[in-house]
Amino acid sequence: MSRQTAYIYSDSFQKYDLSPWHPMKPVRLMLTAGLMRAYGLPQRDNVSEVEPRLATDEELELIHGPEYIGKVRELSAPGAREGDGMGWGLGTGDNPVFVDMHEASATIAGGAVQAADLVMSGELDHVFHFAGGLHHAQRDRASGFCVYNDVAIAAAHLKHKYGARVLYVDIDAHHGDGVQNAFYDDPQVMTVSFHESGRHLFPGTGFTSQLGEGAGRGYAVNLPLEPFTTDSVMLDAFDRLVPSLARAFKPDMIITQNGCDAHWSDPLAHLSLTMEGYAGLAARMHELVHEVCEGRWLASGGGGYQAYTVVPRVWTQLMGEMAEVRLPEELPAGWREFCGRFADSEVPLYLTRDDHAPEADAATLEMIRAATGAAIEELRATVFPLVGA
């Protein structure tokens, strides 16, 4: 039987536009939805396209303070002074203020809550909210291109409304610090983050020693990765950590943050995943949700700054996996022509075929394998006993 799936999308997501020069370009969302449509996904019996709704203040306050929400509203007006937001992480290079900032951000957060309800209610098996994954936003501070932390809000909503145990798995190149911080002492939400080491990349956190605190000790799991980490290292790390943690934790739902800035060509990070690596991760996550939580899966987007050549392909590939649809390898010609109107580089011909990442030398690759293996063994020795894995 085909799994019932959906993706959340509205052209209003284009309003989350931090500035014309900003690396997080909202066109990547439009191009992703366009590629899914070009492949005919929403015309299938088991795939729906769902319009998001605005999150309520009550929902936003599951994670964010009311004064911060008020400040975001205040700075959303035309002519707002950027300097008034500096104490809140707003008006910075990473997080410039923009007109309708609150509405744009709350629509992304509302889409995440909506997705959580659609899955937890049993109406759908899997939902992909690729505009979401804004995992750096803190309780009272914007950070790392993120204003409201939609994935943390969704996890808190699942916990408060349904009493659900939530496993959050983050494969963005950047550590999911905002989600971790929201649940650092909470054994009902386990956060697992694979990311480039904070020794090399923003936000400078996510080390193996960060395990959670109090009742939540053992429920924050971090695997920092060395620059040039490859598909094989990443997939092996996933296999040695996530299934065992998931089986021990017994979640009611899994939320994944599927940032695609670990791709070898991404301009903001230094990892070396390929399209095949992302396909392997998607297949593993899909298998796992059916094993441990009856298929309940909310997938979000995240980072990814090759807006034309990588992001739409990774996320459309993931939607195909969720819907159990084998997509043709050749990208639809109409979509390629449409993408070419915006692209600042040549549009790829194929969905999963990828230029090979530039390989590090043998000594560097051996160092990467050794460092990652040691970190995995450390986590298995420290975290696994705490959570019964």
Q: Are 179 and 151 in contact (CB under 8 A)?
A: yes
Q: What does the radius of gyration of the chain's CA atoms come to, in whole angstroms?
A: 19
Q: Cβ(224)–Cβ(375) under 8 Å?
A: yes
Q: How far is CA 328 from the centre of its chain?
A: 25
**Number of residues that this document lists for the chain:** 389
Q: Which residue bears the tokens 């070898």?
A: 264
CA-based torsion, 8, 10, 15, 18: positive or negative: positive
Active site residue 270: no
Residue for token pair 């959670």: 212
The residue behind tokens 């911060």 is 68
Which of 102, 135, 136, 286 is catalytic? The answer is 136
- The secondary structure of the chain in percent helix, strand, coil, rounded to multiples of 5, reads 45, 15, 45
Cα distance between residue 187 and residue 173, in whole Å: 25
Q: Which residue has the tokens 């808190």?
A: 156
User: Tell me, what DSSP letter sits at residue 367?
Assistant: H
Q: How far apart are CA 271 and CA 194, in angstroms?
A: 11
- β-pair type (126-129, 5-8): parallel
Rounded distance, CA 314 to CA 137, Å? 24
The residues assigned a catalytic role are: 136
